[in-house]
Amino acid sequence: MSYTGIHGKVALVTGAAQGIGEAVARALAEQGAIVAAVDIREEQLYQLVVDLNNQGHQAAAYPADITSRESVDDTVQRIEAALGPIGILVNAAGVLHTGTVEALSDEEWTKTFDVNTHGVFYMSRAVVRNMAKRHTGAVITVGSNASGVPRMYMSAYAASKAASTMFTKCLALEYAEQHIRCNIVSPGSTDTPMQRALWQDEQGAQAVIAGSPQAYRLGIPLNRLALPADIADAVLFLASDQARHITMHDLCVDGGATLGA
């Protein structure tokens, strides 16, 4: 499918080295965006960019630590100087630490918020201050369906995603007058390295699809895990002109796992 309003724009994607971020970077490149791929995993990041450029797309790697305000501000400045004005920002970087509240360490809690919440804040602030001068732009934050439904053993992750979701809606409200649209895509269980790390054995996918009454977790009514490309498709839509009148929206892509909550 072809989306309008993406071709030729500079699109900054965090967490681009793997999983949903990688799928988003590839999808934007295929639509003709100039992709500024950002991640802390340098080797994987450069592999992605080489692959995209070999396919005839335009992409550049910017290794950066989004938990550092200085790193973020410097990266955004270098991207705009080298590639041009950023027209699309996708906050896709994320980490997950699981465990009971009692078992979570201070470091795990802090790291989760550093990436999932503070990173979204630093990157959005740095990008939007430039978008505001141009009176155009689109910001999409990859949240989680866990931001609106309690999950056992995922308190840090769910809380951090809830915070970044509400932050993105507030960002949208503040910058609506400058024609900057800010939305959220909230995936459910998606076949990524993060998801696979939670599985106990080769039946992990089926266990997720079936759900767990003991953990008060519904299964997936559509009877399948999402693929990263499913999430990327939702991001493309919200970044495109087809969604020009949509802002402050949280698009849940979870196969019905949260019953539309």
Catalytic annotation present for 46: no
Which of 62, 157, 175, 216 is catalytic? The answer is 157
CB 118 within 8 A of CB 65: no
**Which residues have a Cβ under 8 Å from the Cβ of 113 and sit 6 or more positions away?**
156, 159, 160, 163
DSSP output for the chain = ---TT-TT-EEEEETTTSHHHHHHHHHHHHTT-EEEEEES-HHHHHHHHHHHHHTT-EEEEEE--TT-HHHHHHHHHHHHHHH--EEEEEE-------S-TTT--HHHHHHHHIIIIIHHHHHHHHHHHHHHHHT-EEEEEE--GGGTS--TT-HHHHHHHHHHHHHHHHHHHHTGGGTEEEEEEEE-SBSSHHHHTT-SSTTHHHHHHH-BGGGTB---TTSSPBPHHHHHHHHHHHHSGGGTT--S-EEEESTTTTTT-
Q: Which residue numbers are catalytic?
A: 157
